[in-house]
A and B are shown apart, each in its own frame.
Chain A
Amino acid sequence: MKSILVMEDEALVRQGLVELLETAGFNAQAVADGNQGLEIAAKTSFDLAIVDIFMPLKDGIATIMELKKLSPLLKVIAISGGGNIVRDFDYLEYAQALGAVKCFQKPVNPDELLETIAAVI
């Protein structure tokens, strides 16, 4: 069974994602910020990480950078609600440049997300 690590600070989204992924037959684990995510990624190997961009303590961009150092082969999908501190800066583009295989703007169509995951792993 393929395993997926979800990093998302919004509890409702986090839980929804885990349930969706489990329903789709993946082994999913979820944390609320980048630091916790990196801690787990250091101990366990995953096939894919889904990383939210705006998270407290450590944001998605910094997390993806460290994640790529930690395990260069790990596939990453970035998701973001946009807004907030964005202004003239496209964080999703930046995430893609850092090596995320796909970047989604929330709200993401769950079917599209599952299709992308299936194609990536």
Chain B
Amino acid sequence: MSPSSPLVVQLCRSAQDDFDLSKLLRRRDIQVSVCLHADACFDLVRQGRVSAVILDLEHPSATGLALRIHLEEAGARPIVGLIAPEYPEFIKNWSKSFWIPSPIRASAAIERIELFIDLGLAEAKIEGLLLQVDEEQQKTEAAVRNAERISKNVEKEILSRTRQFAANIQTKGHKPSNGFNPDHPILNASLLNQTLNVLPLMVYFKDSTSRFVYLNHQLASFLRKDQDEVLGRLATSLPEPLAGLFDKESDDKALETPGGIHGERRIHLDGKIKTLLFGKQAFTVEGIEKPYLLGYGLDLSDQKVMEEKFSQTQKLEALGTMAGGIAHDFNNLLFAMLLNLSLIQRSTAEERREHYIGQMRQACERAKEMTGQILTFSKQQEHQITSVDLTEIIDEVHSLSRSVTPKNIRFERSYRCLNPNCLADPSQLHQVLMNLVNNASYALGASGGHITLSLADIEVDAQDHISLDLKPGNYLKVGVQDDGPGIPSEILPRIFDPFFSTKPSDEGTGLGLAVAMGIVQRSKGCITVVSNKDSGTRFDIYLPQTEKPLARGDQRPLPLYAGKLVGFEKCLVVVEDEILVLRPLCDFLEDEGFKVVPFENPSLALEYCKDHLETISLVLTDQNMPEMSGLALCRQLSECRSDLPLILYSGYSSQLTLELAIEAGAKLLLSKPLRQEELLDAIKQLMV
């Protein structure tokens, strides 16, 4: 019954009145309210919703009540039906009243009541219509709003009644079936079934005992089963690895987790790796105590294959661009060297020759820088990925950048995280940040501006992980932001391409951001960039947050190598496995007046040194050698003679830090290629 159905109030002498209208009228969509007291009855009337009042004149207050109602304001006045053995004369002139003869003949009485209610309603309608004619124009809008509200109410009512209906079925002992139950409250709409079968998505419902209540065609065909074979069963009836996707344990977890659980799963199926987007969460139906589980799955395998192919193509393209770029830049540098060589040949004045040699050296330095960057870019070997305190690195970058950038560029730092530890290679990360800061200060140019270095922690959830290309989890976000002119939108997509640069070729190689991207991706992170004219450019680096520092990895084993003894009996020992370096290095040192004993093989060097501990004044050793690293050599030598001056130098080993070198007994750590002045200074300093 809707709230709009007519309300009839009956005044009875007792709760068990002879004539119980309520039973008769309720069947006809008429509400009946029974009152034993006239006052209660009158109160209802005054509320204005009563269509008819039925009074038994044998009730002591009936006549009085009838009069009171008759004297009420016309608009709110209900029809009054009087039960009496004879026609009550006093209602003769009353417009809204009628007589129900007693003893009552139920059917006739009901007919009369309904007739008069209809009459009353019609009358009320006419009155209402007359009023409406005047007010209609002003009320149109209000009426529309009202209609909407009413329709919502009706909807609500329908919903609540449907639920109530479902609850009734439940309480009447209608147990949920283990199989497919077409009358199930969540499934009774065939529309739902149709919709779910049209979606390109696997969908299922389970009850709280983890049994399938529903699954759509897509899921059934993924499982290679008929729907009926699965319905009402636990996932344990499925073969592995499918069973694992629908296991009770994770169902229970999903039921307990607010918002459910969502994420990517990889399974081996029929010899292929399938990537699936999976999720499940609880939902409740009003009137049913236990929650149900809604699950979905999406097969991303094809998409992943496409992505991989695409990224391969991109890699090849990048390689092409890179090879072209390297060729171009190296050709330029080689040309510069050739030109200067030619000039050296032609020139007689010593001063000019020095100048040309200087130019050649510059070209070499540039080439060296490039190879360094290319190495970093292409290095596929292990990296020193450790737990790094990002605030330390940002502080270093901050102080270093401040000293090398013009004073009109101002730096700011903001740290907003409790745990600044992440997994990364500290020296490479340093390089990445320096690169971003350099780009920012380049963008700010002569006019200056602000560069903000920020650190914050962020949780990447299932929603973000697609846009950010990160696995869900806790990350640290390092921001480098400038308020410069921004990057033009047409070149923004290309900035991470190797050799793409807006700087003149002698100011940038175009490798910086490509290298940065590679480094960050190898640390399982990502870089994003936002840029526009008004607010400048912001790079964000996401790196996986860690709880505690990890142990350093072991050094990789070196292949065996048989070297030969080159010289003996001198007092400055040089250990270097590359003969092309060893020879000129020794020549140079001998030219400078040192007595040099060169070794290609560190084991032989160690043997020699042990025999001549007192006559050696210094050992200069390369780090990266077969059989024994420079570090190990230093360690053994310093054990034999702790005050032996040891200089260690290294090409690109990022594993080697000054701390490690000093710990092994080395006094100094130099990097290759060695600069002659630097080397001489170091030797002289240690031999004093």
Give chain A's interface residues, CB within 8 Å of chain B. Answer: 9-13, 15-17, 19-20, 23, 32, 54, 56, 79, 81-87, 105-111
Contact = CB atoms under 8 A, between A and B. Distances in A.
Nearest to A16: B339
B331 A19 contact: no
B499 interface: yes
A19 B506 contact: no
A23 B347 contact: yes
Nearest to A23: B346
A110 B337 CA distance: 10
Nearest to B323: A83
8 tightest Cβ-Cβ pairs between the two chains A and B = A16-B339, A83-B324, A83-B328, A83-B327, A110-B342, A81-B328, A81-B331, A107-B335
Contact of A16 (B327, B331, B336, B499): B336
A9 B327 contact: no
Contacts of B626: none
B328 A13 contact: no
Contacts of A19: 339, 343, 356
Contacts of B506: 9-12
B279 to A, nearest CB: 45
Given A86-B324, A110-B338, A110-B339, A13 B359 contact: no
Contacts of B347: 23
Q: Which of A12, A105, A111 has the most CB of B within 10 A?
A: A12
Interface residues of B, number: 34
A84 B324 contact: yes
A86 B499 CA distance: 13
Contacts of A107: 331-332, 334-335, 337-338
Given A9-B505, A10-B336, A87-B320, 10 more contacts: A9-B506, A10-B505, A12-B362, A16-B359, A23-B346, A56-B504, A81-B327, A84-B499, A107-B332, A107-B338
Interface string B312-326: 000000001101111
Nearest to B341: A110
B340 interface: yes
A54 B501 CA distance: 13
Nearest to B346: A23
A23 B348 CA distance: 11
Nearest to B363: A12
B252 interface: no
A108 B338 contact: yes
Nearest to A32: B504
Given A23-B347, A110-B338, A12 B331 contact: no
25 contacts: A12-B332, A12-B336, A12-B362, A12-B363, A12-B506, A13-B332, A16-B340, A16-B343, A17-B339, A56-B505, A81-B327, A81-B332, A82-B327, A82-B328, A83-B326, A83-B328, A84-B324, A84-B325, A84-B328, A84-B499, A85-B324, A86-B324, A109-B338, A110-B339, A110-B341
B505 A82 contact: no
Contacts of B504: 9, 32, 56
Contacts of A105: 331
Interface in B3-34: none
A109 B339 CA distance: 8
Nearest to B335: A107
Contacts of A109: 338
Contacts of B337: 107
Contact of B335 (A86, A87, A106): A106
A82 B331 CA distance: 8
Contacts of B325: 83-84
B324 A82 contact: yes
B233 interface: no
B324 A13 contact: no
Contacts of B328: 54, 81-84
A81 B333 CA distance: 10
A19 B504 CA distance: 22
A16 B335 contact: yes
B12 to A, nearest CB: 99
A31 to B, nearest CB: 12
Nearest to B507: A11
A10 B346 contact: no
Contacts of B343: 16, 19-20, 23, 110
A13 B342 contact: no
Contact of A83 (B331, B338, B362): B331
Nearest to B339: A16
B338 to A, nearest CB: 5
Interface in B359-378: 359, 362-363, 366
B329 interface: yes
Contacts of A16: 335-336, 339-340, 343, 359
A119 B356 CA distance: 26
Contacts of B333: 12
